[in-house]
Structure 1
Amino acid sequence: MVIGLTGGIASGKSTVSNMLRDLGGFIVDADLIARKVVEPDQLAWREIVEHFGEQILLEDRSINRTLLGSIVFQNAREREVLNRIVHPRVREEMIRQTEEIRERKPRGIVIWDVPLLIEGGLYQWVEKIIVVYVDPATQLRRLMKRDSLSETEAKRRIAAQMPLAEKVKFADFLIHNEGTLEDTRKQVNRIWNEIKASLD
């Protein structure tokens, strides 16, 4: 079974992902894969440098993610260009990793940890969707603190994603993540047990 896990920026999705891993879920992490496919001299890296220019590179020739982020979060067209380059490669690698897990563990529960699961259309590839939700004020506060951003910059990054309230409409399971870690863990355990029971 393949479960999609998503949420908004700074909603606590990574915390939930780690809890699911501890319970025995096989995590396929889109962010990790996205970092790999843009390593120096990879095809996606070449296309990004070709489009955005060498000024987005650090001394070691890796992409300056902060600089590239500031460009694409201010310009929807540039964000689309970046997504067109990166998303297909990420999807291919996610499918490859999933098939590899299925060969080893046919009854394993695979978790696709994808920030843009809905926006990128990947939700159509999964059987159930878990959305990690926080209220807008909590999301803004956490993002400003986590990434040391101004309120304006944090709001711009949040606005670049589908609103969490919209993502909730796609959820088979919803995790409210404004409370304590223990509150979150209880919700994750309940959902995990429900998913496992559906396989028996």
Structure 2
Amino acid sequence: MSKFIVGLTGGIGSGKTTVTNIFAELGIDIIDADVAARIVVAPGSPALSAISEHFGADYLDAQGQLNRAKLRSRVFSAADDKAWLNALLHPLIRQELLAQLAKASSVYSVLVAPLLLENKLHKLVDRVLVINIDQESQIVRTLARDPSSSAEIKRIIASQMPSEQRLSFADDVINNQGVSMAKLRQQVIDLDQKYRVMANNPV
């Protein structure tokens, strides 16, 4: 297990995937909460059966996979449904993340989670890294990659921790507001060098 763990977070559309891909290119193990969330609802899993039973079989697609877009629309417009789903999935996701962290072998590892702070996953990490971007850019970037409506994206943003509060937890910040890919990459490279030193020289 990598003894030094960096927790990476940011709002929807902030560039988490782009940044984690750069860390991966630098040889760092990435443990992704979104990947863990897919694993725990894989076809045949108890969690998927529970979701199908609770919400209805029409929340599965023709291949028996969870229709994530349909479920997301439902839970972000119904607080009770969201609470039920979170109570089911969050403990399973946490268990999966811990299992993956235990297997990490790079000099440090990155735990990436949109709800790192909301779900108290930051208690598992040594540093909190926040990717910062304004709300208008979040909406534009998410619309460009996602079939969601602007209204739905705004609901998701509203459900996440406000930017100012998220930044108050940050040990490090990546600015992704209107920066070039080269400048974004350089920010990650600089942090990678910093984290390697910290991982090799624990306090």
TM category (shorter chain) comes to over 0.9
1:194 maps to what in 2? Answer: 194
Aligned counterparts, 1:1-200, within 5 A: 1-101=4-104, 105=105, 108-178=107-177, 179-198=179-198, 199-200=200-201
Tell me how far apart the structure 1 counterparts of residues 129 and 169 of structure 2 sit (CA, whole Å). Answer: 9
Range with greater deviation from structure 2 (152-161 or 185-194) = 152-161
Report the TM-score, using the length of structure 1 for normalisation: 0.92
Q: Which amino acid aligns with 1:187?
A: Q
- Once residues 34 and 150 of structure 2 are traced to their aligned partners in structure 1, the CA distance between those partners, rounded to angstroms, is 24
Judge which range, 117-126 or 76-85, deviates more: 76-85
SS in 2 for 1:27: strand
Q: CA deviation at 1:148?
A: 3.5
Q: CA deviation at 1:73?
A: 1.2
Q: Please say which of residues 146-155 and 187-196 is displaced more in the overlay.
A: 146-155
Q: Secondary structure at the match of 2:155?
A: helix
Letter matched to residue 134 of structure 2: D
Measured in 2, the distance between the counterparts of 1:188 and 1:154 equals 27
CA contact (8 A) 2:107 2:196 kept: no
Q: Deviation of residue 138 (structure 1)?
A: 0.9
Q: Following the alignment from structure 2 to structure 1, what is the Cα–Cα distance between the partners of residues 111 and 181?
A: 22
TM (norm. structure 2) is: 0.91
Q: Distance in 2 between matches of 1:188 and 1:151?
A: 30
Q: Distance in 2 between matches of 1:182 and 1:20?
A: 14
Question: After TM superposition, which residue ranges in structure 1, 4 or more long, deviate above 4 angstroms?
Answer: none
| 5+ long unaligned stretches in structure 1 | none
The aligned amino acid for 1:165 is E
State which drifts further: 141-150 or 7-16: 141-150
Q: Give me the whole-angstrom Cα distance separating, in 1, the residues matched to 2:126 and 2:78.
A: 33
Once the two structures are TM-superposed, the CA of residue 46 in structure 1 deviates from its matched residue by 1.5
TM-aligned CA deviation for residue 134 of structure 1: 0.4
Write the deviation string for residues 55-75 of structure 1: whole angstroms up to 9, x where unpaired.
211122211111101101112
Between 1:146-155 and 1:58-67, the stretch displaced more is 146-155
Deviation at 1:76, TM superposition (A): 2.2
Structure 1 residue 167: Cα displacement: 1.0
What per-residue deviation string (whole Å, max 9, x for no partner) do you get for residues 54-103 of structure 1? 121112221111110110111222112111111111111111111122xx
CA RMSD of aligned residues (A): 1.4
Give 5+ residue unaligned stretches, structure 2.
none
